[in-house]
Amino acid sequence: MTITDNILYFDACNTNELAEQYGTPLIVLSESELIRKSNEIRDDFLEKYDNVRAVYASKAFLNTAICKIINREGLGLDVVSGGELYTALHAQFPAEKIIFHGNNKSYAELKMAIEAGVGRIVVDNASELDLIAHLTSALNLPVNILFRITPGIHSDTHAYIATADKDSKFGFPLETIPSAYALAEKSPNIIPLGLHFHVGSQLQNTTAHLSALDVALGLIEQLHDMGTRVFELNTGGGYGVKYTETDTEMPLRDFTDPIMARLKSWASKTGIDRPQIIIEPGRWLVANAGLTLYRVGASKHIPGIRTYISVDGGIPDNIRPALYTAKYRAVIANKMQAPLSEAVTIAGKCCESGDILIKDIRLPQTRRGDLLAVFGTGAYTESMSSNYNYLPRPAVVLVNQGHASLIRTRESYSDLIRRDIVPKYLE
């Protein structure tokens, strides 16, 4: 990010020109930043440790072009639905590098995954294991699986994105793993390779990962004593990013080194071979590669209370402030060198009082037509977007050292009614 003549440049692209050319709201993704993060994964994890792999959790931001970038950068892909899998396969993402997650995969989704030859299915519960046993024998196709465990630990994050408590919809209760493993081993086409946990998202330290790791290692010892070898341990994602001044920017190694150190000492203490370790960062890779450009519209001042500045998007393109009270940083992209004035509140344009993007932020004097840039919107914004209030979804443009490429078109009004059908008697 740089500033020239009062204008914000993102990956050397003039944000005002991007907004003019592609319209607003506009999601801008920096390919250079995606490459920088992928290089960090390569240097500080993949090449630093033996027998490790990294996959990108595509639910954070998925698109055909993104799949191409992730594959080019040498990462695998985590998908959680038939739709995500379809997109990955459409982008010619190598099936063997895909990991399929989800707590309620349907018969059709599992069939699609097994027929495509995905690398791993992370089985979430006993009922799914039954379904897979049935499917693999009907199809006579093999499948590699991991068991997702519920480690039963607390993660210090928003309750909606904490996933490791004992009372969670995700994963096998720990005590059921030995029998599930034994069952899987009896199924001729199921190849049980190991375990998976994911403790939660936007974590600012490794406490939860390390607690879950200890639980998983205890289980691995138990299975080892029963004569079962665990070849792989997938430790999920959850690495937090810096959204505002109060968050800390943590490099990948701050998360992964403590995990790898704990594994090393465990292996030498127990004499059990360390399993292959897999990580699944989503947010960490894409959040700060993204920003959203909005055009400022109406504003109003409530004397003695606050000033509202409204923009042309909101909940439909970023539900995170309303859903998780998520905080973001923003600037006026065409007044980068102007002095800051009183704090204002940025409102979205939806008919919801909760559609507030940022509360109490200091910006320069702002008026209709200015361009607001909200930082850190690469993760879980576009992927959670909706057409609430029938706002067409924004376009997405990929920028790289001054070059811009449209990677998703803006929805049109006709897209909004594309699936509507009027029954004959109403015509």
Residues near ligand LLP (CB under 6 A) are: 57, 59-60, 78, 101, 161, 198, 201-202, 236-239, 280-284, 320, 324, 380, 384
Minimum CB separation from ligand LLP for residue 78, in Å? 6
Give Dmax over CA atoms of the chain in angstroms: 75
Identify the DSSP state of 119.
S
Task: Measure the CA angle with vertex 227, ends 224 and 233; round to 5°.
Answer: 40
Minimum CB separation from ligand LLP for residue 102, in Å? 9
Distance, CA of 241 to CA of 248 (rounded, Å): 7
Element of type H or E holding 103: none
Nearer to ligand LLP (CB atom), residue 122 or residue 309:
122
Q: How far is CA 197 from CA 81, 150, 235, 310, in A?
A: 18, 7, 5, 41
Minimum CB separation from ligand LLP for residue 315, in Å? 13
Distance, CA of 72 to CA of 141 (rounded, Å): 28
Backbone angles phi, psi at 58, to 5 degrees: -70, -15
Nearer to ligand LLP (CB atom), residue 236 or residue 344:
236
Nearer to ligand LLP (CB atom), residue 37 or residue 274:
37
Distance, CA of 168 to CA of 206 (rounded, Å): 20
Active site residue 13: no
> HEC string of 182-234?
HHHHHCCCEEEEEEECCCECCECCCHHHHHHHHHHHHHHHHHHHCCCCCCEEE
Nearer to ligand LLP (CB atom), residue 183 or residue 384:
384
Strand spans (E) along 11-138? 13-14, 26-30, 52-57, 76-79, 98-100, 120-123
Distance, CA of 302 to CA of 102 (rounded, Å): 46
Minimum CB separation from ligand LLP for residue 108, in Å? 21
Nearer to ligand LLP (CB atom), residue 120 or residue 335:
120
Nearer to ligand LLP (CB atom), residue 16 or residue 378:
378
**Beta-sheet pairing, 356-362 with 395-400:** unpaired
Distance, CA of 292 to CA of 375 (rounded, Å): 7
Minimum CB separation from ligand LLP for residue 279, in Å? 9
What is the crossing angle of helices 107-116 and 126-139, to 10°? 50
Minimum CB separation from ligand LLP for residue 324, in Å? 6
Distance, CA of 103 to CA of 231 (rounded, Å): 22
Minimum CB separation from ligand LLP for residue 11, in Å? 22
Nearer to ligand LLP (CB atom), residue 173 or residue 297:
173
Nearer to ligand LLP (CB atom), residue 10 or residue 328:
328
**DSSP 3-state assignment of 256?**
helix
Minimum CB separation from ligand LLP for residue 124, in Å? 9
Distance, CA of 296 to CA of 276 (rounded, Å): 50
- Determine which one of 13, 67, 350, 351 is catalytic: 351
Q: Which residues are catalytic?
A: 351
